Each structure stands twice: as structure tokens, then as C-alpha cells.
Amino acid sequence: MRASPDHGGAVDVAAGWSANRDTASMGRSQRAGAGRLWGMLPEYQHDALLRLKTVRGHIDGVIAMVESSAYCADVMKQIAAMQASLEKVNRVLLENHLQTCVTEAIENGGGIDKVRELISALRFNGSLTDFRDRAEPLPVSE
């Protein structure tokens, strides 16, 4: 971890994650600085945290299942449920990012760079970009 020069928070260089403890409890508008808004919209933050905390508790349950040699298929179902919850968190984060960071970048003329950054991040998230199992195939016209 190292200090981030742009907003004084800690940065996990390997993960690309940053946190600013001084502004963690401030509202979005209070963190505006140098044309950049920090953080999440409260409704998205609440939803993401609720889901993440639920998954955290769920992980303890799955660990206990594995420790007690629970039936493998049951453990796999629980893991799939956790993965689905984490995918929903990613969708919440994507929606927040589009409504805040990307919108602001477009309004300020930096949309191309922000879209490139987003596309780069989406490479690691097939569930956000693969809708084959959620959509009906297009009708074939003759």
C-alpha cells in the first residue's frame, strides 16, 4: 500500500483499489475536487454493501459445510449462489460507475479515456457482458 497523491487515500497498487478514510463518511458532493467526484451514490453503496456483507456471512457457512464434509453438490449450489450475489454487486457497481464517473468524464470531454478504462475492466467480468443465457435468440428470417 502507498499513499495516493491525488486524494490522500491508501492505494493497493496490485488491485488498483483506493480508499480515502478522511472522506469515507462524506456525501458525494462533499468529495468533489478538481472536477472529480469520489465514491458511490448512496443507494448503490447501500445495495452493494448489503450484498457483500451477506456474501461474507454466506462464506462462513460454506466453510463450515466443507469442514463438516457436506455433500459436494450442496456446497456447489451455495457457491453458485455466492457467485450470483457477487455478479449482482458488479452490476450495481457498473451502474453507479456509468451514472457518476463515466457521465462526468463525458461531460468534461474525457469520455473516450473513461470508456477505454471501463472496457478494460469489463474484460475481467464475463457475467457483465455475456447475455447468451439471458436472451432469446433472434428469429431467423428466410
**CATH code of residue 107:** 1.20.58.1000
pLDDT of residue 16: 44
pLDDT of residue 131: 62
115: in domain: yes
State the sign of the Cα–Cα–Cα–Cα dihedral 114, 120, 121, 126. Answer: positive
Q: Torsion angle, CA of 75/77/83/85, rounded to 10 degrees?
A: -110
Q: How far apart are CA 25 and CA 42, in angstroms?
A: 11
- Residue-range definition of the domain harbouring residue 55: 40-122
70: in domain: yes
* Mean pLDDT across 114-120: 90
Report the domain count for the chain: 1
CB of 23 closer than 8 Å to CB of 10: no
φ, ψ at 128 (rounded to 5°): -85, -15
79: in domain: yes
